[in-house]
Amino acid sequence: MKDAHRPVKIPLLIPILMLLVNIYLFVAPIIFKPRLEYMYVAASVFTGATLLYIPFVRFGLKVPLYDKIVTCLQLICEICPPAKAGE
């Protein structure tokens, strides 16, 4: 996909800057004014990300009826994936 046509090219500095801003917004409240609620949020984010990433992304687990649910939601919201280059 390195040679794929991309109509918009974003400089690499922008995603890096956004990543740093998001990390700051996540970590700053925990560092500057620590409260137990922030720890619950951090624990749930990391636990949820781990529990979803490992089975579904790493091992490619497929959920039954997932494709039908996605198709139904796309029809309801009137959205669709972009057309492939060959079509």
Amino acid 7: pLDDT: 85
The alpha helices in 1-87, defined as continuous H runs, are: 13-32, 36-52, 66-77
Q: What is the pTM of this model?
A: 0.52
State the average pLDDT for the chain: 87
- Residues 42-61 have a mean pLDDT of 88
Amino acid 76: pLDDT: 92
Closest CA to 58 of 67, 66, 46, 50: 50
- Residues 8-33 have a mean pLDDT of 93
Is pLDDT of 55 > 70? yes
